[in-house]
Amino acid sequence: MKGTQNKYYIVCEDLFKIYKIAELEVVALRGLDLKVETGELMAIVGASGSGKSTLLNILGGLDVPSAGQVVVGNRDLLKTSSRDLVDYRRQDVGFVWQQTSRNVISYLTAYQNVELPLILLGWSIRKRRRRVEEMMEAVGLTSRSNHFPDRLSGGEQQRVAIAVAMAHNPPLLLADEPTGELDSQTSETVLDVFRSVNDVYGVTVVIVTHDIRIMSKVNRVVTIRDGRTSQETVRKVQTEFVKPEARIEKTHDEFIVVDGAGRLQIPRDLVEKLKLGRRAVVLMEDDHLVVWPVESQEGEEK
Ligand code: ADP
Ligand code: MG
């Protein structure tokens, strides 16, 4: 239904993605659950190979999951035809990639880069000019409008990329390692632009990264491990009021994600400390659970 505002813009439930290469199967997502609120600015972190890009490609309609549920806006992406997915990608999603060369076209100026998607969508010249100027201002690059990408710094190119991605005012902005090639100070400036467009346009923003410094920039960070959401960190207080050295510890609450089936991932360091093997006993104690490792039997597979 159009016009109704859902609380969640993204709902993934028990999502699986299996890649088949010849005889080999790679399970990139194994029962992933994720909800993102409409207008939220959040990040997904995780080691390389944990399934971050796979998830983002599915959310952006570039890839289809093998099983499970994924609803974005009011659209069930598993039931969307490939033709409708093309429309979805063009109209409802903005992408920012790690490589600037994938985001901007080198022989077009910054202005022309931002204008291009609007030409493809058939916007009139007047409407285009107004929007491109607005976007260049939104990313703080008005004075650089007529520069070609090779005259811009890496951070400026990524800011142009955000302007390109936001030009047609999509409800969803996806970024895959957008600061992966930038130094930390430049990264910060680029992340601030994501925050600002989220604030000004109310766009739902999902940023994938392996850089945990993202924690000081977004309200919620979800950790993916082995293709499943495992941990969630939620900001408690405004970081502006906290000394930088105390930020990560004091300003966030850490949670382990419990999925719809009651599964949770025990943090790896605790698994090692406890010498947790294949089996454990879980007991209820008052209002909490206790987990006991069970020694493996002889002859049992590890
Ligand atoms: P991340 O972005 O967190 O580094 P990816 O989503 O790229 O992780 O990859 C998750 C897993 O899926 C990895 O084991 C990767 O090798 C595999 N994978 C990703 N894309 C493909 C593909 N197109 N074909 C086969 N395997 C893939
Ligand atoms: Mg990746």
pTM of the model: 0.84
Give the DSSP per-residue string, the chain. Answer: -TT---SEEEEEEEEEEEEEETTEEEEEEEEEEEEEETT-EEEEE--TTSSHHHHHHHHTTSS--SEEEEEETTEETTS--HHHHHHHHHHHEEEE-SSHHHHS-TTS-HHHHHHHHHHHTT--HHHHHHHHHHHHHHTT-GGGTT--GGGS-HHHHHHHHHHHHHTT--SEEEEESTTTTS-HHHHHHHHHHHHHHHHHH--EEEEEES-GGGGGTSSEEEEEETTEEEEEEEE-S-GGGS-GGGHHHHSEEEEE-B-TTS-BPPPHHHHHHHT--S-EEEEEETTEEEEEE-PPPTT---
CA of 163 to the centre of ligand 1 (A): 28
pLDDT tens digits for 37-52?
999 999 999 988 999 9
pLDDT tens digits for 58-95?
999 999 999 999 999 989 999 999 899 999 999 999 99
> What residue's CA is closest to ligand 1, atom 22?
19
When the pLDDT of each residue in the chain is averaged and rounded to a whole number, the result is: 88
List the beta bridge partners of residue 17.
29
Atom number in ligand 1 closest to CA 210: 3
pLDDT tens digits for 135-156?
999 999 999 999 999 999 999 9
Structure tokens at 46: 């995780």
Name the residue ranges covered by the structural domains of the chain: 2-270, 271-302
Q: Is 52 in the pocket of ligand 1 (CB under 6 A)?
A: yes
CA of 50 to the centre of ligand 2 (A): 8
Q: What is the pLDDT of residue 229?
A: 85
CATH number corresponding to 2-270: 3.40.50.300
